[in-house]
Amino acid sequence: MTNSTFPIAFLFPGQGSQSVGMGRELADKYPVARRTFEEADEALGYKLSELCFEGPEEKLKLTEITQPAILTASVAAWRVLQEKGVKADYVAGHSLGEYSAHVAAGTLTFADAVRTVRNRGKYMQEAVPVGVGAMAAILGMPFDKVAEIASEIVNDAAQGEVCQVANINSPEQIVISGHAGAVDRAIKLATERGAKKAVSLPVSAPFHCSLMQPAQDRLATDLSTLNFQNPSCPVICNVDAAVVASAEASRKALIRQVTGAVRWEPSMRLLIEKAASLFIEVGPGKVLWGLMRQIDRSKTCLTVGDEASLQKTLAQIAATAA
């Protein structure tokens, strides 16, 4: 069902898109989705499917559970789309979602990916003691102004505190990460300098900054043992906002991603440059759909996370192809 006249990009969500019940409807209706959850349960040695379908939410929010849970719900939705004949010309994923993208591109097996992201979540959680780090979203302030504030904070901090841009999500939304005190000072500065809003994020660790180096080192060891294939379709990697086309480049990009910034807006601009005109967020939530509306409202962005969104997306693709 792909059509060269409207190249399709699949976008896979990252942490924060989880919700109790995710994937359940598709697993109830489609054997391929149900088997995906069973495969995850087997690979992890516990009932991840139960936590996704029934919660409790507090447990689903734990990073080492959240990461494999979102990956599994996303891959289940992708496999249903595949069965319906919808293929991607490009794939990309937000942070953790890049693993889902690589499963879709055949770079990694699903079982390897689900075990790796469980460890990734654990390593990220253990890299920095709780309370030491923080993240904040700066809304309505251009990237260069936010980057300027972050470097000012670092230069002023006598103790060598970290404050870095962690996510370039859209023209409207930049996320910073680092030591809690430094991030607090950046929030104040951003507010004083005219940000629409600067708000601390409810996260358990300061992701995508140099404080994650211990997690990156541990993950690099894990990834070095896995069998990577060359992707079967172009994957846009977060850390460079560029296409990775080989097994080795894919592995290196996933390693560097732990401390590197998620360059989501530049990644979407690259896809637009490459003439992608239909974007489908595959997995739980609508976070990437919302960001695409801030990046380029002229592009069609659809979601597939449950039966209703699946049917709506299939209908829209059929109408576009007609």
**What pLDDT sits at residue 156?**
83
Is 1 a member of any domain?
Answer: no
Residue 64 and residue 21 share a domain = yes
Number of residues written out for the chain: 322
Is 314 a member of any domain?
Answer: yes
Average pLDDT score over the chain:
95
Give the domain extent around 277: 8-127+211-321
DSSP at 108: S
| DSSP class per residue in 193-240 | TT-SEEEE---SS--SSGGGHHHHHHHHHHHHTS-----SS-EEETTT
Residue 218 and residue 120 share a domain = yes
Of 203, 238, 254, which marks where a domain is finished? 203
* pLDDT tens digits, 262-289: 999 999 999 999 999 899 999 999 999 9
Could you list the active site residues? Answer: 95, 208
* pLDDT tens digits, 166-185: 999 999 999 999 999 999 99
What whole-number distance in Å separates Cα of residue 297 and Cα of residue 278?
12
The residue among 6 and 167 whose pLDDT is bigger is 167
* pLDDT tens digits, 73-100: 999 999 999 999 999 999 999 999 999 9
What whole-number distance in Å separates Cα of residue 269 and Cα of residue 281?
16
Q: State yes or no: pLDDT of 322 exceeds 80.
A: no
For residue 9, the number of C-alpha atoms closer than 13 Å in the C-beta half-sphere is 28
Is 189 a member of any domain?
Answer: yes
For residue 148, the number of C-alpha atoms closer than 13 Å in the C-beta half-sphere is 8
Alpha helices in the chain (DSSP H): 24-29, 31-44, 48-54, 57-60, 63-83, 97-104, 110-127, 143-156, 180-192, 213-224, 247-256, 264-273, 287-295, 307-321
Residue 120 and residue 227 share a domain = yes
Of 142, 177, 203, which marks where a domain is finished? 203
Q: State yes or no: pLDDT of 158 exceeds 70.
A: no
What whole-number distance in Å separates Cα of residue 55 and Cα of residue 173?
30
**What pLDDT sits at residue 151?**
92
User: Quick count: other Cβ atoms within 10 Å of Cβ 72?
Assistant: 31
Is 276 a member of any domain?
Answer: yes
> How many domains does the chain divide into?
2
Residue 235's CATH number: 3.40.366.10
Residue 102 and residue 184 share a domain = no
Q: At 252, list the tokens.
A: 């290196």
Q: At 73, list the tokens.
A: 């719900």
* pLDDT tens digits, 217-262: 999 999 999 999 999 999 999 999 999 999 999 999 999 999 999 9
Residue 146 and residue 109 share a domain = no
CB of 121 closer than 8 Å to CB of 65: yes
**What pLDDT sits at residue 202?**
85
Q: At 169, list the tokens.
A: 């999500």
Is 2 a member of any domain?
Answer: no
| Backbone conformation region of residue 74, classed left if phi is above 0, alpha if psi is from -120 to 50, else beta | alpha
Residue 249 and residue 139 share a domain = no
- φ, ψ of residue 9 to 5 degrees: the values are -115, 130
Of 153, 181, 203, which marks where a domain is finished? 203
